[in-house]
Amino acid sequence: MKPFIAKLLRGLKQAEYWITARFALTALFLLRLLPMESAMNFAERVARKLGPLFGRHRVATSNLRAAYPDKSDHEIEAIASDMWANMARLAVEYIYLDRLFDYDPQAKESGRVEVKGAEIFERIRNEGGPHIFFTAHLGNFEFLPIAAATFGLSLTALFRPPNNPYIADYIYKTRSSSMGGLLASRAGAALQLARVLEKGGNVGALVDQKFMRGVPTTFFGRACQTSPLVPKLARQYECDVYPARCIRLPDGRYRLEIEECLTLPRLTDGAIDVPAMAQMLNDTVERWVREDPGQWMWFHKRWQIR
């Protein structure tokens, strides 16, 4: 009886995933029929109204109050509203990736996308690998692998696929068409990234998600756990580590920023200090988030510790 019930529950879950995916993908298809700006503005308006109705909104406002104890309820709700708007735009931008990213290194004037630190991209390309890039869920972070490809950099990006397999398949196909190498964050991913670096390649990773078996760190002054993957890879291959982010600008524009490589903390024997570097990654992301908190996903349970 128990195997039958377990099989039934799995089937029901798959059915739920399928229905949810059909609804989401149909909505994206209908939005694609609208002019690009109209679709994104419409999605933003809807998200600002519907976002507060979801349970994740309570998670977001709770996290915001802990991070900004001096802010009023009105200020907290305003940041949460901006967060929902950012997430809605990100979802719609998936269907326009081929049209949105218009950066041309040879152009004299900036288009919709501008790049700060283009000379760093060029230097990295000319010196060869390996290198590690890290970013966070800020703005449209999907533009960063596309930017690397624009500068002739081969980059394998680690990403965490959604739990819904149908949506995950859509996102993978959409991203892989313009972003080069993609690697799902599953068992064996660390070994595959290590092989890329061993061959002199470049890897990219998001570092702002919870990791239940991670290194004890802090983020906005609160205890959390952080994945040791990037610090361990940096220690093993002694490669430079570069912070990079995307910032939403007014009028539907974007700025991609790549910063100079980090000066990594080391132990007395010269090896990279993995826990200290994990904290350094958190501190970098916190600096970014504090500059524009409405562009980060506060509904993520970043501080959940097992």
pLDDT of 175 over the 70 cut: no
Q: Which residue has the higher pLDDT, 103 or 289?
A: 289
Whole-number Å distance between alpha carbons of 141 and 138:
6
For residues 89, 94, 97, 98, the Cα torsion angle rounded to the nearest 10 degrees is: -140
DSSP label at residue 306 = -
- Between 97 and 215, whose confidence is greater? 215
The predicted model gives 41-59 an average pLDDT of 95
Task: Indicate the pairing of strand 131-135 with strand 181-184.
Answer: unpaired
Measured distance CA(245)–CA(115) in Å, rounded = 10
Q: Which residue has the tokens 């196909």?
A: 173
Q: 1: burial class by Cβ within 10 Å (0-12, 13-18, 19+)?
A: exposed
User: Which residue type occupies 298?
Assistant: W
Q: Answer whether residue 180 shows pLDDT above 60.
A: no
| This prediction's pTM | 0.87
Quick: pLDDT tens for 68-77: 999 999 999 9
pLDDT digits (tens, 9 = 90+) for 229-252: 999 999 999 999 999 999 999 988
Which amino acid is present at 81? S
Rounded CA gap, 65 and 281, in Å? 23
Q: Is the dihedral of CA 55, 163, 67, 42 positive or negative?
A: negative
